[in-house]
Amino acid sequence: MTNTISACIVAHNEEKVIERCLKSIRDVVQEIILVHDGECNDRTVEIARRYGAKVFFQPFNGEAEKHRPFSYEQTTGDWILQIDADEYLSKKAQRLIPTLLKEKDIDAYAFRWPVYNFKTKKYIKGPFDKQLKTVLLRKSKMYFVAISHEAPLTSGKFVKRPDILLHHKPLYNNFSFTKIRNKWIKWEDLHAREIINYKQVEVYHYDPRYIEPIYTYYANFIKHPYYTAIKRYIIFDTGKKVLRKGLIGSPLINYKILFYSYLSVLYLAKKITYYRDYPL
User: Per residue in 116-156, pLDDT tens?
Assistant: 999 899 999 988 888 999 999 999 999 999 999 999 999 99
pLDDT at 263: 86
- Flag whether pLDDT at 240 surpasses 70: no
Q: Name the residue type at position 38.
A: G
| ∠ Cα 60 208 138 (to 5°) | 70
Lowest mean pLDDT among 8-17, 70-79, 92-101, 251-260: 251-260
Q: What is the dihedral of CA 50, 51, 56, 62, to 10 degrees?
A: -100
- Flag whether pLDDT at 47 surpasses 70: yes
Backbone angles phi, psi at 252, to 5 degrees: -55, -30
Backbone angles phi, psi at 177, to 5 degrees: -65, -30
pLDDT at 235: 56
Task: Catalogue all structural domains in the chain, each as residue range(s) with its CATH number.
Answer: 5-168 (3.90.550.10), 177-277 (no CATH)
Q: What distance separates the 2 farthest-apart alpha carbons in the chain?
A: 53
pLDDT at 127: 85
pLDDT at 151: 95
- Flag whether pLDDT at 234 surpasses 80: no
pLDDT at 239: 65
How far apart are alpha carbons 271 and 251 in whole angstroms?
32
Tell me which of 235 and 239 has the higher pLDDT: 239
How far apart are alpha carbons 25 and 28 in whole angstroms?
5
Share of the chain above pLDDT 90, in %: 75
Question: In the 8-state DSSP scheme, what is residue 233?
Answer: I
Q: What is the mean pLDDT of residues 180-195?
A: 89
| Residue 280 pLDDT grade (very low, low, confident, very high; cuts 50, 70, 90) | low
Using DSSP bridges, classify how beta strands 122-123 and 153-154 pair: parallel, antiparallel or unpaired.
Answer: unpaired
Question: In the 8-state DSSP scheme, what is residue 121?
Answer: T
pLDDT at 236: 55
Whether the Cβ atoms of residue 10 and residue 63 lie closer than 8 Å to each other: no
What kind and span of H or E run contains 154? strand 153-154
Q: What is the mean pLDDT of residues 48-55?
A: 98
Question: In the 8-state DSSP scheme, what is residue 257?
Answer: H
Is 136 strand, coil or helix?
A: strand
Q: What is the mean pLDDT of residues 266-277?
A: 94
- How confident is the prediction for the chain on average, in pLDDT? 93
Whether the Cβ atoms of residue 54 and residue 74 lie closer than 8 Å to each other: yes
| Residue 237 pLDDT grade (very low, low, confident, very high; cuts 50, 70, 90) | low
How far apart are alpha carbons 135 and 162 in whole angstroms?
12
Nearest C-alpha neighbor of 62 from the set 173, 188, 198: 188
- Flag whether pLDDT at 246 surpasses 80: no
Q: What is the dihedral of CA 138, 140, 142, 148, to 10 degrees?
A: 110
Full-prediction pTM beyond 0.75? yes
Backbone angles phi, psi at 17, to 5 degrees: -125, -15
Q: How far lies 242's CA from each of 60, 108, 125, 144, 258, in Å?
A: 34, 24, 12, 25, 9
How far apart are alpha carbons 234 and 241 in whole angstroms?
10
